[in-house]
Amino acid sequence: MTPGHKGLGRYRRLLSEPGMAGCGVAALASKLQGSMFTLSLLLTVAATRSYGVAGAVAAVSALGGIAAPARGRLLDRLPYAAVLWSAIALHGALVTLIVCNELAHGPLLLTFAAALAANTVAPPVGVLTRVMWRSVTSDETRSTALALDAVLADAGFIVGPLLVGVLSSVLVPQAALGASVLVSVMATLLLLRALAGREPAKSIGKEQNWRGSLTSVPLRLHLGCALFFSAAVGVVEVSLVSHGGELLGSVSVSVLSAGSIAGGLVIGALPPTRAAQVSRLPRLLLYLGLAATVLAVAGTSHPVVAIALTLTVGTAFGPCFVAVYGLTGDLAPAGTAAETQAWVGAALQGGAALGQTRSSTRSPARSSTRTLPRS
């Protein structure tokens, strides 16, 4: 058997275990939720107002992501079903309010408020997915599962916008917004089924600290590392679009995603001990820094060389995300699994926003990049 077949065998072995195929579908559904909601919200508002107003609504809605650690803390203290179904009920009601208000050409302020609230109470299925993988896998299969999750995140941000575009074109943008809620329902059903009887111990008792998982100094250092890593990703993406032009820049960002998927697949195909060695975060960040430096020096004057170097940079992304989330689970204080994963997701999103904003202010051309599909 060739090494390639052996690597694929690790994925086959993982998905052939009882319930694992459902876990994979649940993970993909959770990625679709994040990739579909913002875009479908933008198209829904743009259909009745303008893209400028819709962009402002989407930007305000994104601020709701600040509440992710609070939602994670609720998961750590209450039964998962109670938190998820309550969140879906509130989220669905607020999405319905947005649709009705837009169809009736109601007050714009109401749309802003409802969009912010809808994202604030969005069901934390993405966070729970990473908790799920640690709960349903063994040491032998965990690295493969985390790599699969990273690959599905990239796949979700390819499939999700495509679904939104198809539904908006064939039907109406409001249908795409409703579909994002239905995807959350599907993810919740599958996650609760996968975690039945496997929920981690709840964080209860007098020993609770208001800082929650942030009482851990190593975790706080890790969050800082995650923030700077995602800032670097944002800088690379915006710089490629800004300096490569519309065609080469767009192709380059796609190549980054392809490289990220390839790198993640390679990590998952390795035996656990080898995967642990290769996916040590300091090594990966050093490789990413060197590869990005070479790309920056080479520039975009030779498109073929630029694409090859971009692919080299992208291959570090997937393994870095696997390492970040894997180490996050290891550093999570007892009873704070969901909150800790939510904090690292928030750090990654914040770092991406910081990197993209910083790079945009320095770039001579207007740029547009994808949001990091990791929260």
Distance from C-alpha of 161 to C-alpha of 149, rounded to nearest angstrom: 18
Among candidates 191, 190, 160, 198, which has minimal Cα distance to 176? 160
Q: Are residues 242 and 183 in the same domain?
A: no
The CATH number assigned to the domain holding 62 equals 1.20.1250.20
Residue 31 and residue 151 in one domain: yes
Summarised one tens digit per residue, pLDDT across range 180-202 is 999 999 999 988 988 887 777 67
Tokens 């999570």 locate to 332
372, part of any domain: yes
- Residue 81 reports pLDDT greater than 80: yes
Do 109 and 122 touch, CB atoms closer than 8 A?
A: no
Does residue 13 form part of some domain? no
- Inform me whether the pLDDT recorded for 366 exceeds 60: no
Domain edge (last residue) among 198, 223, 243: 198
In this structure, are 364 and 230 located in the same domain?
yes
Cα–Cα distance measured from residue 335 to residue 322, given in angstroms and rounded to the nearest whole number: 22
- 124 close to 115: Cβ distance less than 8 angstroms: no
- Is 375 a domain residue? yes
pLDDT confidence of residue 356: 64
Q: Is the dihedral of CA 299, 304, 305, 311 positive or negative?
A: positive
Range name among 131-135, 176-180, 307-311, 359-363 with the lowest pLDDT average:
359-363
Domain count within the chain: 2
CB-CB contact of 128 with 73 (8 Å): no
Instruction: Specify whether 48 is located in the same domain as 114.
Output: yes
270 plus 323 within the same structural domain: yes
pLDDT in tens, 7-66: 577 888 888 888 888 888 888 888 888 788 888 998 999 988 888 888 899 888 888 888
Q: Are residues 67 and 182 in the same domain?
A: yes
In a domain, 3, yes or no: no
Contacts of 345 (CB under 8 A, 6+ apart): 68, 126, 127, 374, 375
Check whether 89 has a pLDDT greater than 60.
yes
Residue 148: pLDDT over 50: yes
Say what percent of the chain tops pLDDT 90.
19
Where are any strands of DSSP class E within 77-153? Answer: none
Task: Please report whether residue 8 resides in a domain.
Answer: no
The per-residue pLDDT for 9 is 78
Q: Give the pLDDT confidence of 93-122 residue by residue, as tens digits.
A: 999 999 999 999 999 999 999 999 999 999
- The average pLDDT across 316-330 equals 88
* Nearest Cα residue to 183 out of 10, 39, 330, 353: 39
Q: pLDDT (tens digit, 9 = 90+) per residue, 32-45? A: 887 888 889 989 99
pLDDT of residue 357: 67
**Dist CA 320 CA 225 (whole Å):** 11
Backbone phi and psi for residue 196, each to the nearest 5 degrees, phi listed first? -55, 120
CB neighbours (10 Å) of residue 128? 30
pLDDT recorded at residue 239: 77
Please state, rounded to an integer, the average pLDDT across all residues of the chain: 83
Residue 352 structural domain: 212-375
Q: Rounded to an integer, what distance in angstroms lies between the CA atom of residue 233 and that of residue 351?
A: 9
Question: Which residues contact residue 146 at a Cβ distance below 8 angstroms, ignoring those fewer than 6 apart?
Answer: 130, 133, 268, 322, 325, 326
At 369, the pLDDT band (50, 70, 90 cuts) reads: very low
Q: What is the pLDDT of residue 186?
A: 92
